[in-house]
Amino acid sequence: NTNINRTQKARAHTNIALIKYWGKADEQLIIPEDNSLSLTLKDFYTDTEVRFDKDLTADEIVFNNHLMNKAESQKMINFLNIVRQKAQQNIFAHVKTQNNIPTAAGLASSASGFAALAAASSKAIGLDLSRKDLSRLARRGSGSATRSIFGGFVEWEKGNNDQTSFAKPIEENVDWDVNLVAVITNRHEKKISSRRGMKISKATSPYYQAFKQVTSRDLITMKKAISNHDFDLMGHTAEENAMKMHALTFSSDPSFTYFNGDTLKAMQLVHELRNEGINCYFTIDAGPNVKVLVQHDNLKKVIRKFKTAFGQSNVVATVPGPGIEYLN
């Protein structure tokens, strides 16, 4: 292949799940138990460049200007192995990846990371994948990455095998009033990976089947809210669904939680704001940081409240963002 020495660069934005994915039907292929739905975010993204090089004897991965050792890069190497296998090529790669998250850390995401790696590496090795096939490929790195191929509101249709499990855009250009305020309460890596957390919940929470049932209902409500541009129904449904997911962590054996004290404080502030007549709603993924959905008229008040409580640098506002972009 004549193009194989070229550097390919891609940008993928992270996403926040409004209807949560929590549990795998197939751990190897990352097929989820249920459909999920997310919003891609403009200001949190990963840029990744990849060049395959037949002189290399191993993959060389630089993450935020730090050369990763083998243990640190194992998940990315496993992913590159899948790409090599698809392309029937046996060459190693230089990978340079940069997380562009305004406040350094705390929102780092495997979603944008594996979506960007899927796009850049598949192109660099000479595969010309459709967005559907990119979504399927990104899924092999991390479930949430399946959705980051597309912009705006995105649904991951669970399917039942590698061919049929991929994401689809619901509304790529969000042309109505949706803002998100990220509240960072902790910048460290989470102790329980989502991979492990969902496995424990599926195996032990007595509420797991109930979660599946309500999630399929919440998904229908969420899609209706999006198509009607009904902000309050969207926010309310997202907040309820997030709490149901986190209830699975509390009810697992051993039980665990991603919340810290400041997570609870942020949730309480959202309740206070609503009591003051300011419509905003929170959602939380597998970590302690809180994302608040709010409309433009209330944005300033919400930002002020959270900055006062958590400090200037721990509150970042953003809007819906685009899907995968190639940068060269």
Binding flag, residue 316, ligand PMV (CB under 6 A):
no
Q: Is 135 in the site for ligand PMV (CB under 6 A)?
A: no
Q: How far is the CB of 110 from ligand PMV (least distance, A)?
A: 5
Q: What is the C-alpha to C-alpha distance for residues 125 and 306, in angstroms, rounded to an integer?
A: 45
Q: Does 212 bind ligand PMV (CB under 6 A)?
A: no
Q: By CB under 6 A, is residue 195 in contact with ligand PMV?
A: yes
> Where does residue 278 rank: exposed (0-12), middle (13-18), buried (19+ CB within 10 A)?
middle
Question: In terms of CB distance, is 15 or 122 closer to ligand PMV?
Answer: 15
Task: Tell which one of 97, 99, 142, 252 touches ligand PMV (CB under 6 A).
Answer: 142
Q: Please, which residue, 20 or 123, has the CB nearer to ligand PMV? A: 20
Cβ closest to ligand PMV, residue 19 vs residue 269: 19
Which residue is it, tokens 């993204």?
Answer: 45
Distance of closest approach, residue 194 Cβ to ligand PMV, in angstroms: 4
Minimum distance, C-beta of residue 287 to ligand PMV, in the bound complex (Å) = 8
| Site membership for ligand PMV, residue 20 (CB under 6 A) | yes
Does 36 interact with ligand PMV (rule: CB under 6 A)?
yes
Residue 319 contacts by C-beta under 8 Å, 6 or more apart in sequence?
41, 42, 43, 174, 178, 179, 180
A 10 A CB-CB count for 126 gives 16
Token digits for 187? 């910048």
Place of tokens 């350094």: 104
User: Using CB under 6 A, which of 14, 35, 40, 110 touches ligand PMV?
Assistant: 110
Which x/- pattern over 241-280 shows residues binding ligand PMV (rule: CB under 6 A)? ----------------------------------------
Residue 254, token pair as written in the block: 């051993």
> What is the number of other CB atoms lying within 10 angstroms of the CB of residue 288?
23
Q: Are strands 92-100 and 60-63 parallel, antiparallel or unpaired?
A: parallel
Q: How many CA atoms lie within 13 A of 112 on its CB side?
A: 30
Q: Could you say which DSSP state residue 113 is in?
A: H
Does residue 35 touch ligand PMV according to CB under 6 A? no
Nearest to 105 by CA among 188, 22, 202: 188
Stretch that binds ligand PMV, among 15-23, 69-77, 175-183, 306-314 (CB under 6 A): 15-23
Q: List residues binding ligand PMV (CB under 6 A).
A: 17, 20-21, 36, 110-111, 142-144, 194-195, 285-286
